[in-house]
Chain A
Amino acid sequence: MWSSKTTLMFGVAAIALMMFLSSASADDVVALTEETFENEVGKDRAALVEFYAPWCGHCKRLAPEYEQLGTTFKKTKSVLIAKVDCDEQKSVCSKYGVSGYPTIQWFPKGSLEPKKYEGARTAEALAAFVNIEAGTNVKIASVPSSVVVLSPDNFDEVVLDETKDVLVEFYAPWCGHCKALAPIYEKVAAAFNLDKDVVMANVDADKYKDLAEKYGVSGYPTLKFFPKSNKAGEDYNGGRDLDDFVAFINEKCGTYRDGKGQLTSKAGIIASLDDLVKEFVSADSNEKKAVYSRLEEEVKKLKGSSARHGDLYLKLAKKGIEKGADYAKNEIQRLERMLEKSISPAKADEFTLKKNILSTFA
């Protein structure tokens, strides 16, 4: 008896703590009550009010979007973003005819006669609605996109550029699969942001029907790959998750990225130089110079990114001669320590390439 009561008491305390934590994180949206509703709404500023219930699944899905909306309009004095818990404030909700959850209603300045919001339940759509009704122009904070947005104006310039490998997503705004793909596609584009030869692009094929027709697009989303060597384009038929896209691009474009955009442990390594490197490592100081000369001869034959990586081989080999036997091992450790710290992505790439090449010298 005592133990079950104790357990129950802890349960009550845990619930109370959870409620405190959840309320603490919702500061930007004003929670209204029966007492405060008519002090805040219908006065000197307009209000958008979400009527919700804590147990409502759709309300939970809306919550992060609505919080973002609250944050966005926090500094706007003429608009209040608010919410009402209909489980606790029953009289307010019945007064305004709330029969389903969530219900979102717009109260113009000085009015208690609401207009029901029936648009999409995203922060962008809600902000657009509020901006029109309130006459404001508040913008949602925007995360920069790495995807190139195509239109008839720039399609040929980007897609037919023979110095670039271009993957194009033909989408339609109303297509559910396209919406599911969008965040994944964005991540892929971000991962290859530093590879200037790789372009991730999309085009609204519903809006630009001529482009869709020209490239034989009949369903959405359709993905087509335009490599440097084939600007007629080929269909992408691989999987549509992050790893599948990354693997495809690495294979087709000669890149070495992972899903987070970091270089893999194979990046920068040139297989044709492996034997010479082994020979270099095992040679004595006099022979090292001779092997180094042969490395120089081989590097001159390389092209493209391999040429740049080959130059790194030579630079690091020279350091090895100058600094002695432990240079490779010590330098790898130093680079690893710095890769765990605050460095820019471009520098991280440089360090990873060095580390990978040095691993063949160790």
Chain B
Amino acid sequence: MTMAFRVRNPDLRFLILLSLLSITSAKVFFEERFDDGWGNRWVKSDWKKDENLAGEWNHTSGQWNGDANDKGIQTSEDYRFYAISAQYPEFSNKDKTLVFQFSVKHEQKLDCGGGYMKLLSGDVDQKKFGGDTPYSIMFGPDICGYSTKKVHAILTYNDTNHLIKKDVPCETDQLTHVYTFILRPDATYSILIDNVEKQTGSLYSDWDLLPPKTIKDPEAKKPEDWDDKEFIPDPEDKKPEGYDDIPKELPDPEAKKPEDWDDEEDGEWTPPTIANPDYKGPWKAKKIKNPNYKGKWKAPLIDNPDFKDDPDLYVFPNLKYVGIELWQVKSGTLFDNVLITDDPEYAKQLAEETWGKHKDVSFFYSLIFFGLRYAIERYDLLNEIVFLQVEKTAFEEAEKKREEEESKDDPVDSDADEEEEDADEAGNDSDAESKTEAGEDTKEEGVHDEL
């Protein structure tokens, strides 16, 4: 204990010093660690309350944690809507970097639900905060089944919500993760998870906030001499003589005239026909690569007359609230350490502190998980060994019996070899059954209209 305290002390002192230095220039617009007075700062919405679908929040550190005293708020009821928000002094991020950061832990082994938060602007009735309340930024993880595991980064511009065009995977385990969104005055952004940068880029290219800067020239026409056929019929390939005379069908050589056939009554008998295997359909010449092929034609790009730059693209002039608005089929998501600041360094330190608290637990938990998985694999392998051993024993016994019988006659070695091969194949086949299919599917275009 004394030893642990000594180790902690230098870190704490260093952190305090660094924070003091930061405070002289940085500004924290909102910080929430969910200490015991958190209820005075957050307003639980009445949204869905009348329908008895509003879920309750627990103030807790969760079932596993790095610090039992470090609490957050956790969803507690399944199949419920959750809506809660907090107010901070209104500010604009013009000429400032905006950092929005919080930690999320899905203790419930979430199969479908969100873990995101929102920043809201202007005046909001916090008692009516809900899914339809306009927001400025929505950021955080969203999980549903196997196909949706993404980090949302939605920006509202001219009253329209724009989703990020990049696919940023989120964490899907049951541990605490810190999500960080950084928005800079040069209209660039970054998304970090546990202080690791997952995506960075420009608002111009990664959202459709403005019309594209360049467009295909609508006046441009493909030149008449542009050849975009990659393959052409081979002019050297001639239709073989007699090709068109090949009949589609042939008389069935197996057919016989029925005994009851009466030529006078029924006319002359003709056999039924079968498809002619030599019939190949209408003639098509062999395809060869087109020597004049110039590739697919593309219209040249021109400046888009509809494009009008906005130097304040990144600006949210009236930021005032932070909120959580979710539907959870399976509850148990825990939020903590919410931070809104203009100082990425401070956010980084807070993230490190947050994640660092939990990472030892993370290691221990992972150890249990991997150990369990290893044990399961060993059990499967043992089962398989037993099966193969029984199979081998049965085979050997049959082989022995056969040899005893053959001792009365001349033995045939090649037969024994064949049976051994068969047994090997059988073993491989049973082994194959346990493997996961790694198939590839040809993609089908989904653009076209289908009935």
Chain A residues with a Cβ under 8 A of chain B: 5, 8-9, 12, 15-16, 19, 53-59, 87-88, 99-103, 120-121, 128, 131-132, 135-137, 139-144, 172, 174-177, 218-222, 334, 337-338, 341-345, 347, 351
The interface residues of chain A lying within 8 Å CB-to-CB of B231 are: 132
Q: In whole angstroms, how far apart are the Cα atoms of A53 and B429 in the complex?
A: 10
Q: In whole angstroms, how far apart are the Cα atoms of A132 and B429 in the complex?
A: 37
- Pairwise interchain contact A342-B432, C-beta atoms closer than 8 A: no
Q: Which A-chain residue is minimally distant from B271 (CB atoms)?
A: A342
- Pairwise interchain contact B426-A58, C-beta atoms closer than 8 A: no
- Pairwise interchain contact B437-A57, C-beta atoms closer than 8 A: yes
The interface residues of chain A lying within 8 Å CB-to-CB of B419 are: 16
Q: By the criterion of a CB under 8 Å from any partner CB, how many residues of chain B are at the interface?
A: 63
- Pairwise interchain contact A5-B435, C-beta atoms closer than 8 A: no
Instruction: Given A220-B448, A222-B451, answer yes or no on A8-B394 (Cβ-Cβ < 8 Å).
Output: yes
Q: In whole angstroms, how far apart are the Cα atoms of A16 and B281 in the complex?
A: 41
- Pairwise interchain contact B450-A219, C-beta atoms closer than 8 A: yes
Residue of B270, B273, B275, B450 near A176 (CB, 8 A) is B450
- Pairwise interchain contact A12-B426, C-beta atoms closer than 8 A: yes
The interface residues of chain A lying within 8 Å CB-to-CB of B441 are: 58
Residue of A9, A143, A175, A334 near B448 (CB, 8 A) is A175
Instruction: Given A131-B286, A144-B248, A221-B451, answer yes or no on A100-B440 (Cβ-Cβ < 8 Å).
Output: yes
Nearest Cβ in chain B — how far from A76, in angstroms?
13
- Pairwise interchain contact A344-B270, C-beta atoms closer than 8 A: yes
Q: In whole angstroms, how far apart are the Cα atoms of A77 and B316 in the complex?
A: 71
Q: Enumerate 17 A-B pairs (CB-CB under 8 Å) in ascending A order.
A: A5-B390, A5-B397, A15-B425, A54-B432, A55-B433, A56-B438, A58-B437, A100-B438, A101-B438, A102-B439, A121-B442, A139-B284, A143-B275, A219-B449, A342-B256, A343-B269, A343-B272
Residue of B248, B252, B287, B449 near A128 (CB, 8 A) is B287
Q: Which A-chain residue is minimally distant from B284 (CB atoms)?
A: A139
- Pairwise interchain contact A132-B439, C-beta atoms closer than 8 A: no
Q: In whole angstroms, how far apart are the Cα atoms of A9 and B278 in the complex?
A: 46
Q: In whole angstroms, how far apart are the Cα atoms of A55 and B434 in the complex?
A: 9
**Is B277 in contact with chain A by the CB < 8 A criterion?**
yes
Q: Give me the 10 closest cross-chain CB pairs, A-B, nearest first.
A: A58-B439, A342-B255, A137-B286, A142-B281, A16-B422, A341-B258, A139-B280, A144-B248, A55-B432, A219-B451
Q: In whole angstroms, how far apart are the Cα atoms of A177 and B440 in the complex?
A: 21
Known: A174-B445, A338-B261. 20 other contacts (CB 8 A): A12-B395, A12-B422, A12-B426, A16-B423, A19-B422, A53-B435, A56-B437, A88-B428, A99-B438, A100-B438, A100-B440, A136-B286, A137-B237, A137-B285, A142-B280, A341-B256, A342-B254, A343-B258, A344-B272, A347-B266
- Pairwise interchain contact B277-A58, C-beta atoms closer than 8 A: no
Q: In whole angstroms, how far apart are the Cα atoms of A285 and B110 in the complex?
A: 91
Q: In whole angstroms, how far apart are the Cα atoms of A56 and B439 in the complex?
A: 6
What 1/0 mask marks residues of chain B from 91 to 104 whose CB sits below 8 Å from any chain A CB? Answer: 00000000000000
**Is B444 in contact with chain A by the CB < 8 A criterion?**
yes
Q: In whole angstroms, how far apart are the Cα atoms of A334 and B448 in the complex?
A: 56
The interface residues of chain B lying within 8 Å CB-to-CB of A172 are: 448
Q: In whole angstroms, how far apart are the Cα atoms of A189 and B377 in the complex?
A: 56
Q: In whole angstroms, how far apart are the Cα atoms of A174 and B391 in the complex?
A: 50
- Pairwise interchain contact B439-A100, C-beta atoms closer than 8 A: yes
**Is B198 in contact with chain A by the CB < 8 A criterion?**
no
Nearest Cβ in chain A — how far from B267, in angstroms?
8
Residue of A59, A139, A338, A351 near B281 (CB, 8 A) is A139
